[in-house]
Amino acid sequence: MSDDFKPEHAAAFKRALELALSYRERSQEIPPRPTLPLADLRAAFDVGLPDEGRDPVEIIEALSAAAEPGLIGITSPHFFGWVMGASHPVGTAAEFLTAAWGQNAAVFQCSPSAAVAEEVAADWLLELMDLPRESAVGFTTGATMAGFICLSAARTEVLRHTDWDLEEFGLTGAPEVKVFLSEEAHATIHSALRYLGFGERQKVMIASDDQCRMRADDLAAKLPQHAGPKIIISQAGHINSGAFDDFAEICKLARDHKAWHHVDGAFGLWARAAPNLAQYCEGIDGADSWSVDGHKWLQVPYDSGFAIVKNADALKRAMDISASYITADADDGRNPTHYGPELSRRARGFAVWATIQALGRKGIEEMVARHTRCAQHLASRVSEEPGIGVLNDVAVNQVAIAFGDENDAPGVRDKYAQDVVAAVRQENTSYVGGAVWKGRQIVRVSIISRTTDERDIEQLADSLVRAWRKVRAAN
């Protein structure tokens, strides 16, 4: 054994693995919500800055002891709080190796293996989601950054078509780009637009229907009002309703108006991998770019997102980093930095490569279909209870639940929903979150944890009904 890797380091590796194993083996029983008060959690971590390095095994044990009581049960099948995947065990094992190898996936020459793993995983992703095979794929932290990356390629390209060289002249004095997006667009799309230099004045907000889908007729009416360069942003999988925009129609409008069409498909694009749900994504391959998460429905460990752009050159123009010390030889493979804003970063492709193989094409199909079945079952279970209503047509894995009826004032109904969230979390057998649906407070259930099945849904439905009866009795 070499000097730099000492027996105590090996012991720390092994102890970390044992603790990780023990945590995962208990994930069925662990309450999904931490119960330790914040002050205690702080005290557990705040051990004082040491002057000397501490014993490696001691550090790992102290970390586990301090962190565990404050962990949220995202890997458990009872977690429905946000749209969050459950870190597949095999992807997680690949992350152990990734960390141990200490690779920097900046460019091909920094880590040929990291680059090739991403190259192969990128092809698999395009195949699974049936997107144009010539597309370039950037491996990034999540759908927020994936949206930013895709929209920066869009911005470069729509300006280039007006003969404006963005890379040379910047945005100052450029023709005004208008961005057409739904009033129901995800908050992170607005953030991405802000990072890219677009303000409120450049946004044209499109009305949505009762399921939070962008209204293609409103888009058709508003597009001709602007002569300059245009970007359209549609959505596969709305955060509350799970609904899908009409991609065939929006793609046609984008073509007619020479607009770049970006799809925010953070979780919903995975519906395309399940044949019985693929109809929702009909025509989606006609868009120009797609942002998708790895760490949501695909269950890749955090963090993992994909920026997919059909025109690879547009993405490279927007993202490439060049410096005298970043060299590429003619026979080098894919250079990761062409496809994203980061230089040094974790080798994200290994876990994606491993997770896709662990699930397989059939496993992904089965999981997406099961979550959808579970969502429909939950909707019918809770709807049987007087005073509970489901607001969305349950298309995929999201269920939007409202409480109270016509006789209750809106403020009272909002409070019911908030109190039900609190009561379910108090019981701590399942974890749900709140959200606002067209001005009304709801309980939002996201069924997206890898192993969640019908039994977990029964437990959740029981908890929701118990919570509602308690809340109603107390009001």
Ligand X SMILES: *Cc1c(COP(=O)(O)O)cnc(C)c1O
Q: Which is nearer to ligand X, 246 or 264 (by Cβ)?
A: 264
Q: Which of 33, 186, 261, 338 binds ligand X (CB under 6 A)?
A: 186
CB of 156 within 8 A of CB of 115? no
Nearer to ligand X, 231 or 266 (CB): 266
Residue 305 in the binding site for ligand X (CB under 6 A)? yes
Distance of CA 113 to the CA centre of its chain: 26
Nearer to ligand X, 293 or 342 (CB): 293
- Torsion, CA 298, CA 426, CA 187, CA 206, rounded to 10: 100
Binding ligand X (rule: CB under 6 A), the pick from 95, 218, 264, 342 is 264
> Is 77 in contact with 453 (CB distance < 8 Å)?
yes
- What does the alpha-carbon distance between residue 320 and residue 342 come to, in Å, rounded to a whole number? 10
Q: Is there binding between residue 269 and ligand X (CB under 6 A)? A: no
Q: Are 180 and 189 in contact (CB under 8 A)?
A: no
Q: Per-residue string for binding with ligand X, 389-428, x by CB under 6 A?
A: ----------------------------------------
Q: Please write down the HEC assignment for all residues of 213-254.
A: CECHHHHHHHHHHCCCCEEEEEEECCCCCCCECCHHHHHHHH
Q: Which is nearer to ligand X, 288 or 293 (CB)?
A: 293
Residue 190: CB minimum distance to ligand X, A: 11
Give the x-and-dash track for 135-174 against ligand X (CB under 6 A). Answer: -------xxx------------------------------
Residue number with the shortest CB distance to ligand X?
142
Site for ligand X in 27-86 (CB under 6 A): 83
| Total binding residues toward ligand X, as defined by CB under 6 A | 13
189-248 residues near ligand X, rule: CB under 6 A:
237, 239
Phi first, then psi, for residue 174 (nearest 5°) are -75, 155
Which residue, 106 or 307, has its beta carbon nearer to ligand X?
307
Listed in sequence order, the residues at least 6 apart from 311 whose beta carbon sits closer than 8 Å to its beta carbon are: 153, 157, 288
Beta strands (DSSP E) in 74-229 are 136-140, 178-182, 203-206
For ligand X, the closer CB: 148 or 260: 148
Amino acid at 6: K
Q: How far is CA 328 from CA 109, 345, 346, in A?
A: 7, 18, 20
Smallest Cα–Cα separation from 204: which of 186, 224, 179, 184?
179
Question: Are 350 and 114 spatial neighbours (Cβ–Cβ below 8 Å)?
Answer: yes
Cβ-based nearer residue to ligand X, 56 or 81: 81
**Of residues 266, 368, 448, 467, which one binds ligand X by CB under 6 A?**
266
Of these, 293, 342, 365, 414, which contacts ligand X (CB under 6 A)?
Answer: 293
- Smallest distance, Å, CB 307 to ligand X? 11
Is 445 near ligand X (CB under 6 A)?
no
Which of 164, 260, 267, 350 is in the footprint of ligand X by CB under 6 A? 267
Per DSSP, the three-state class of 389 is: strand
CB of 416 to ligand X, least distance (A): 25
Q: What is the dihedral of CA 262, 439, 402, 241, to 10 degrees?
A: -10
Interacting span for ligand X (CB under 6 A) from 22-30, 218-226, 260-268, 422-430 = 260-268
Of the candidate residues 98, 135, 188, 463, the single one contacting ligand X (CB under 6 A): 188
Sheet order of strands, 388-390 included: 388-390, 398-403, 440-446, 433-437
Q: Which residues bind ligand X (CB under 6 A)?
A: 83, 142-144, 186, 188, 237, 239, 264, 266-267, 293, 305
